[in-house]
Amino acid sequence: MAAEMRSVDDGKTLPDGLGQAIRETAGDIAELLRAAADTTVPVPGSEWTVGEAAAHLALANELMADLAAGRERPYGDGTPQSLAAANARSLAAFRERRAEPLAAMIVAQADGFLDAVVRVTADKAADPALVTPLGPMDRSVLASYLLTHMLGHGYDLARALGRPHMIDRARVVLCLPFLLTVMPRVVNATVGAGVTARYRLRVRGGPEFGVTFTDGAVNVTSAPPDRADCTILTEPVTFLLIALGRCNPWGAMARGRVLAWGRKPWLAPRFPALFTAP
């Protein structure tokens, strides 16, 4: 098993550092929970308590591990409403809310996900296409999805418990494959209707990419457009928190964590509203 785990870390199975980031993030969340005196504490900005958010994470990690192993697990149709309904059903059927069992399950299912990636990738006949709650993905993008999901809820738990969060630049960069893949699927059709604009986005200290709207239709590319209307540079942690709906973009701009320039810099503040946080 040690050799298998190294193949995740050295980039042969997943992008370099992604497997390690998944394990460490699961461990960070488990540490938060094990230090929690009370799991009935409410999570700021959420209807969930710490125990419910942790239970959701444990169940979601189990779901991701099953998907990585090639098992079909229908879970909503990708819309926010259907995902919220699926979350509610799963939490109603799973009553565990204690910190220690949930911490152990979060870690075990993250490890199970990585084990499944190694096993299935070793089978050259395996089909890399997987049906996920947010559309088809290969296992590398699914791993980025798992990390992104854990970081979002890990941030919520840290806020609820008054502890430091575990998001950093390196982990944010590893979330980008998922975020770029899912962007076209989470466009806010109402806000984006008729929009035509070319954005160049960059995570400070990380990569840049392009998002082009043409009469409401969006195209996301790993390279920026040749003639961007608006360039947006965002501090890494702020970038992820805005993408996940945890941070007000106006406040972030006021604090200098988001900078914008170009021929049409006024397009920057509206950019986050063009999407519904996954």
> Does residue 211 register a pLDDT over 50?
yes
Residue 120: predicted pLDDT:
81
Backbone angles phi, psi at 164, to 5 degrees: -65, 145
Residue 59: predicted pLDDT:
98
Cα separation, 240 vs 178, in Å, equals 12
Sequence-distant (6+) residues with CB within 8 A of 61 are 26, 105, 106, 109, 110, 112, 113, 146, 150
| pLDDT average, residue stretch 162-183 | 97
| pLDDT average, residue stretch 117-138 | 80
119 falls in which pLDDT band (50, 70, 90)?
confident
> Does residue 6 register a pLDDT over 60?
no
Cα separation, 52 vs 30, in Å, equals 14
Question: What are the tens digits of pLDDT across the range 142-153?
Answer: 999 999 999 999
| pLDDT average, residue stretch 184-193 | 92
Report all structural domains of the chain as residue ranges with CATH numbers, in order of start.
2-180 (1.20.120.450), 186-274 (3.30.1050.10)
Name the average pLDDT for the chain: 92
> Does residue 56 register a pLDDT over 60?
yes
> Does residue 3 register a pLDDT over 50?
no
11 falls in which pLDDT band (50, 70, 90)?
very low
Residue 117: predicted pLDDT:
92
- From residue 195, alpha-carbon distances to 190, 215, 231, 267 in Å are 10, 5, 16, 10
- Can you state the angle between helices 99-122 and 2-9, rounded to 10 degrees? 80
Residue 226 class from Cβ within 10 Å (0-12 exposed, 13-18 middle, 19+ buried)? exposed
| pLDDT average, residue stretch 205-231 | 94
> Does residue 237 register a pLDDT over 90?
yes
> Does residue 4 register a pLDDT over 50?
no
- Taking alpha carbons only, the member of 170, 242, 244, 243 closest to residue 207 is 170
